[in-house]
Structure 1
């Protein structure tokens, strides 16, 4: 009986060894085959809104927008030969459009037709703003074209903001003067508001534009969001089409300005 018991234990021990060896061998990857590894998740860095100003002088660069596969906000000048055609093209591409409202600057050069002047009375200002809004369908907001003097003038901006509030439009301050009163007045009116952080193309040079975009992404990472303004120029759109895919890989999310207004 004792011999049988030892025999059985030996058999069980051998079977255990065989089983463990089988588990070990089948659990190992075959020679030359590595187990699949999930790519590391991209860390979210911040939200960026890109605004392209001054559309409506022509249609030259419209098709270049098809190379930039992120949300863009485009500001369209009113009362120009291409204003209506441009806004139709932009809307067809599912881009956000806003009215680029001409406002009086300190230096009076190359003023657009029906620029809002600080010397105008309330009814004149309201008529211009209402007419410009009505002329551009699909718009979600308004930004200032020039306007270094007007955006410093409380009375003028107060009248403009009364119209925007009534129309349910947001205001984007291009910040062309350090003395802008727009942010404080927007709070007074309970108006959705945002302001520009970086101008991208004050110099029409690819290296300069890339440096400005680097500043923009630093601000987005630090503050959670940032707004950059460029212009309807071929060089600007070329650089954006080149750089934006890299920024997306780095973890930056591109959004419309309407997603950043407060």
Structure 2
């Protein structure tokens, strides 16, 4: 009845307004977004699985390699009595170079860290048989005896020569006759080479008798090590080794691991040895598990002894087999007695230094370790200034190691 009345009362010529029907989609906006995201993930996974480049996304180096010239091939062909042909063809052409110019490009495998050195150029010098230029050894740090170096796949590493050993040659000067008659202390500051400011602070503010230990990391640890030696500090090289909580606590790239074979650890050791020159010995960087594992540690000690180096155990692992391994090789060895800045406050550092001093009086020799914290450098520097007045001699680590061996 109401609808009929409305129709009769509506003005002539006008239609009754009708309700618009809303379009309803069979899915919600969130469902559509989820489907689109799923399609993207499927496409990405397919690209990753079927892409033929297993190292896709890693840095790549393209090198133009000069194809042998005809003049290079003819002499060899004449000697063989037959025509010589290149073994391979390269479409890439080398950019023009000046006569005798050579460049070495180091390519690093992003997955394994393996380095490959490729020499580019050398055109006329090599063609003219300039063997001296091609075989010239790379420059070494100032004050380094080239006879005590040999080339490895990563660079120059220490070696004995004509009875000379790096441990003796690079040990800092000390009055060993005086050290044999009175109590001595030695201090090793570790963790240097990463952070030029703190490394320079330790080099310049601490007395020369304080030994400095460099990690193999940092932009140019060799340059900082050279500066330390110029200030008459002797230096040790820290070798990153596996701690018990690895990999949660990771010393860094190329860490020596108990899970690797001896050959793999030896290759990593050579990488560390090549990072700088002029060190008298090695010391562990972390490594509580590694130094306590006989099968892993023994080969490292034997290699260090063969190369004329000493070994210093920082004393952080009570289960370390380094003392016995070093004794079997009759190599210079030392072990840390007190970690000076475990609690890095002036009061606790002073307390540790006083304990080190008392230990030196009781045993004749004591060795402390510390890091290059500003508070550590400040307190150790102040303590050493009056140490001789109290009848204690501050000596380099190598001197303390020799006295420990003889006593």
Question: Which TM-score bucket, shorter chain as reference?
Answer: 0.7 to 0.9
Bigger RCO (CA 8 Å, 6+ sep): 1
Structure 2 partner of 1:181: 321
Runs of 4+ in 1 over 2 A off after TM superposition: 63-70
User: Which structure has the bigger radius of gyration?
Assistant: 2
TM-score (structure 1 length as normaliser): 0.80
Alignment pair present for 1:207 and 2:344:
no
Q: Tell me whether 1:49 sits opposite 2:186 in the alignment.
A: yes
8 Å CA contact 2:187–2:370 kept in 1: the answer is yes
After TM superposition, the structure 1 stretch with the greater mean CA deviation from structure 2, 87-96 or 66-75, is: 66-75
The residue number in structure 2 matching 1:192 is 332
Residue 69 of structure 1 deviates from its aligned partner by 2.8
- Separation in 1 of the partners of 2:205 and 2:332? 30
* Pairing 1:29-44 to 2, within 5 Å after superposition: none
Residue of structure 1 in register with 2:157 after alignment: none
In 1, Cα distance between equivalents of 2:195 and 2:385: 27
* Separation in 1, partners of 2:357, 2:186: 10
Matched with 1:29 is none
**Following the alignment from structure 2 to structure 1, what is the Cα–Cα distance between the partners of residues 301 and 191?**
21
For 2:251 and 2:201, locate their aligned partners in 1 and report how far apart those are by CA, in whole Å.
28
Deviations 1:127-184 (A, max 9, x none): 1112211221010000000000001001111110121011100000012111111101
Instruction: Supply the RMSD in Å over aligned alpha carbons.
Output: 1.4
> Is residue 154 from structure 1 mapped to residue 294 from structure 2 by the alignment?
yes
Gaps of 5+ in 1: 1-43
Match of 1:77 in 2: 215
Partner of 2:358: 218
1:93 aligns with 2:218: no
C-alpha distance in structure 1 between counterparts of 2:345 and 2:379, whole Å: 9
Tell me the number of residue pairs that the alignment of Structure 1 and Structure 2 aligns.
Answer: 219
Alpha-carbon distance, 1:257 to partner: 1.0
**SS in structure 2 of the partner of residue 52 of structure 1:** strand
Please state how far the C-alpha of 1:73 moved relative to its aligned partner.
0.9
Unaligned 5+ segments in structure 2 are: 1-180
